[in-house]
Structure 1
């Protein structure tokens, strides 16, 4: 990704990213001044800045951390974070009941000036009101990313919200672009981003960083990548930002033949930023229309969003390094749910406080053709 080169063109300034997660701690050195706590609507603001296990804060830092005092520097360090806390695994029952419903949160974000919504969590249940909220957010011009899930070695399932129409499902790859063995696969995988050996806070005490793996971190990196592009091209629509990321994704297969494991390939925002005359395509054309509708129409002939089916093929990928699963969280609204995890963002964890950069990952190389 060569982040230091990208930062010469864009640092994410002017772009707000909603982090819907376990809450975001605005007081870590990396996030001081980065979290817009006053912009969370009161009706969905319950404990938004109280992160009960460190996951949401980690995602926020991967997106927009400043790297202050030797902490983690995000891929879009001048973007801003708007925090939201929803009921996810690890929250006790009493707190779950007080947490705002995901559909209500998404609608509130849709009515704000946030451009990007990051959802580093997932579950197996397709909730009609949440599906409708995602459509509402899309119609309001928001770009949404979610991790596809981390249970590919144990089970097959279609993960939501990544599988909802208009949500970009992000798989996790290593630094060479090979999909992680754990990364959930299926027709709802749209893009891939680094998701192995990624630094995140170890726990809610915020005393130290650990390394982990998962599609949560990959989702955060994808959101940050979109922030970089949107900052450089503020007049583009969400469709155009996404189209540019799809068109420039690293892959060794045809653009119109996406992978079950890596979608359209490994995200490479640098390829957009280095071309000042990049053509993002029509403002009102959904680059994922094929995935979102698949030719299904209702009685009146209007397109109907279809739920993707999980792949029936065995998981493929290279070995993943052992690490903390801190990056992934499951929706508490369903059992046997999964969340997403890591990214290989280059960060500084020392006195130097100089951000490293995501390196390599030029092409995604493990794939399987999608089914019809």
Structure 2
């Protein structure tokens, strides 16, 4: 199993230049904070963002490796979470860096006087729910499926889920978990992958998930960022400074980091606009996204940029109609969200749920009585007809006359207003036709050729 772990660490001084043309001032007291160039980028302007929202009151689930909740830049912002591989909490990681890095880009608060030292996340007052799954270290243990972690996140009040993972095959269980999250108004953000492939990785490619690619300081797509028709947004993912578990900090490239920035932006929006649905939050991100000048004529969504790179300050301040409930999000398969969480009485295989299905398809006592009465009436009519026919046979006209062999008999019946011609009934006006408007799955729109 392959994961988008931004393990392509890079060293040296951060390259000169500015993301999306121009930088905004950002308070800094040490080199680590200075290295966090996205916070000072013109499209972010973190100091202005934090005047609008800090993500307070929002829980972001990080489905990843475990997180070092004792890191000085994260302490107090990391909940116990759950280790789905070995059991126990997932806030005590000391060796695998990835989950801690993602958590810090979302909700680190820095340290020192005024929190000006170390790493600061884009949503510094959000809470992180760490959920450890398989694939980041050993493969031992019975659990570790991200479907279980996703359901746990929904059932434990996370409204944004960060999945900086890829290369995972889809199963019915995993599709149902995504549908369950969407049905409960949880926004899922996932990385497109780091293989420079024209194919968005799973689960980012699934309906109901925001797929994220990476861009550099100039707004150009990172050379190893996966692309494709499902890509929705891009975000900073090159020369990204973040906290770590095995060491204080790390510097890396990857769509994982970009995904964390989108999740943080969603947390900011969910804190400021608590009445908006997950789809409407995505709508604000999409409607305020930007493109570099070289892409100003691109047909959106573009295979490499999606709708563009995020501009969280604009997303927080622009006057944008709420729009439809789902916004730009495609709905998961119909019916896959009917199963509920592990703590619900309607869990998969639950007797109450099965009984409900059977009750809906059975016959009520009143219907049974009605059928019985109808049968008796039909039998009585048949008896009367037979008796009269025998009487007519004794007293009626000779063969060949009216009513007998050779007579006019009954003419062939024509289809009535509620009867369709032919041996099989055709789809009626209230029956959805396959491939018709609203039928699932929808036909994806034509995408422009990749570059």
Q: Give the TM-score band, short-chain normalised.
A: 0.7 to 0.9
Which aligned pairs between 1:38-49 and structure 2 lie closer than 5 A?
Answer: 40=82, 46-49=88-91
3-state secondary structure, aligned to 1:165: coil
Which aligned pairs between 1:83-232 and structure 2 lie closer than 5 A?
Answer: 83-89=130-136, 91-94=137-140, 97-123=141-167, 125-152=169-196, 155-201=197-243, 204-206=245-247, 208-232=248-272
Give the distance between the partners of 1:138 and 1:85, measured in 2 at CA: 21
Q: Shift in Å at residue 156 of structure 1?
A: 4.8
3-state secondary structure, aligned to 1:132: helix
Aligned to 1:259: 302
Change (3 A) 1:32 1:308: farther
Change (3 A) 1:44 1:224: farther
Normalized against structure 1, the TM-score is what?
A: 0.73
Which of 13, 33, 53 matches 2:96? 53
Asked whether the 8 Å contact 1:85–1:99 carries over to 2, the reply is no
What stretches of structure 1 of length at least 5 have no aligned partner?
312-367
3-state secondary structure, aligned to 2:109: coil
Deviations 1:247-304 (A, max 9, x none): 00003557972110110100111112223x432213x233123x978xxx98496643
Asked whether the 8 Å contact 2:84–2:132 carries over to 1, the reply is no
Give the distance between the partners of 2:214 and 2:48, measured in 1 at CA: 23
Asked whether the 8 Å contact 1:173–1:196 carries over to 2, the reply is yes
Deviations 1:213-265 (A, max 9, x none): 00000000000011111111111111111101100000355797211011010
Q: Tell me how many residue pairs correspond in the alignment.
A: 300
Greater RCO, 1 or 2 (C-alpha within 8 Å, sep 6+): 1
Deviations 1:18-70 (A, max 9, x none): 00100111100011110121x65999954412334111011001000001142
Change (3 A) 1:86 1:34: same
Aligned to 1:330: none
Asked whether the 8 Å contact 1:247–1:255 carries over to 2, the reply is no
Aligned to 1:320: none
Give the distance between the partners of 1:240 and 1:26, measured in 2 at CA: 31
3-state secondary structure, aligned to 2:207: coil
Change (3 A) 1:174 1:127: same
Give the distance between the partners of 1:159 and 1:47, measured in 2 at CA: 28
Deviations 1:130-170 (A, max 9, x none): 12211110011000101100011xx5544111111111000
Q: Shift in Å at residue 187 of structure 1?
A: 1.2
What stretches of structure 2 of length at least 5 have no aligned partner?
1-43, 334-431
Q: Shift in Å at residue 108 of structure 1?
A: 1.7
Aligned to 1:81: 128
Asked whether the 8 Å contact 2:84–2:145 carries over to 1, the reply is no
Greater fraction of residues in helix: 2
Asked whether the 8 Å contact 1:116–1:223 carries over to 2, the reply is yes
Aligned to 1:24: 67
Asked whether the 8 Å contact 1:146–1:168 carries over to 2, the reply is yes
Aligned to 1:362: none
Aligned to 2:440: 304
Aligned to 2:326: 285
Normalized against structure 2, the TM-score is what?
A: 0.61
Aligned to 1:236: 276
Give the distance between the partners of 1:181 and 1:60, measured in 2 at CA: 25
Change (3 A) 1:72 1:78: same
3-state secondary structure, aligned to 2:320: coil
Give the distance between the partners of 1:241 and 1:145, measured in 2 at CA: 12
Change (3 A) 1:205 1:285: closer
Give the distance between the partners of 1:308 and 1:48, measured in 2 at CA: 38
Deviations 1:96-127 (A, max 9, x none): x2443211111121223211000011015222
Deviations 1:184-216 (A, max 9, x none): 1111211000000001346x423x322110000
Question: What's the RMSD between the two structures over aligned residues?
Answer: 2.9
Give the distance between the partners of 2:157 and 2:200, measured in 1 at CA: 30
3-state secondary structure, aligned to 1:71: strand
3-state secondary structure, aligned to 2:271: helix
Give the distance between the partners of 1:225 and 1:170, measured in 2 at CA: 13
Asked whether the 8 Å contact 2:54–2:268 carries over to 1, the reply is yes
